[in-house]
């Protein structure tokens, strides 16, 4: 996945106004994956 795909996926996953524990978990996974991608570039 490139940056654009990640951003699009992220926006699709978080376009709801309600923030739940599952959303927080997705956010943590997204950040971890994003940082890992930047580090391994």
Domain segments of the chain as ranges: 3-12+21-39
pLDDT of 29 reads 92
The torsion region of residue 21 among left (phi > 0), alpha (psi -120 to 50) and beta comes to alpha
- The span from the CA of 38 to the CA of 23, in Å, is 22
pLDDT of 11 reads 73
- 8 Å CB contact between 11 and 3: no
> pLDDT tens per residue, the chain (41 residues)?
578 887 877 777 665 556 677 778 888 999 999 999 999 98
Q: What is the pTM of this model?
A: 0.45
CA-nearest of 14, 18, 16, 39 to 27 is: 14
């Amino acid at each position: 996945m490139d940056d654009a795909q990640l951003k699009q996926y992220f926006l699709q996953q978080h376009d709801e106004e309600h923030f739940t524990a599952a959303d927080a978990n997705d956010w943590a996974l997204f950040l971890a994956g994003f940082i890992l991608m930047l580090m391994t570039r």
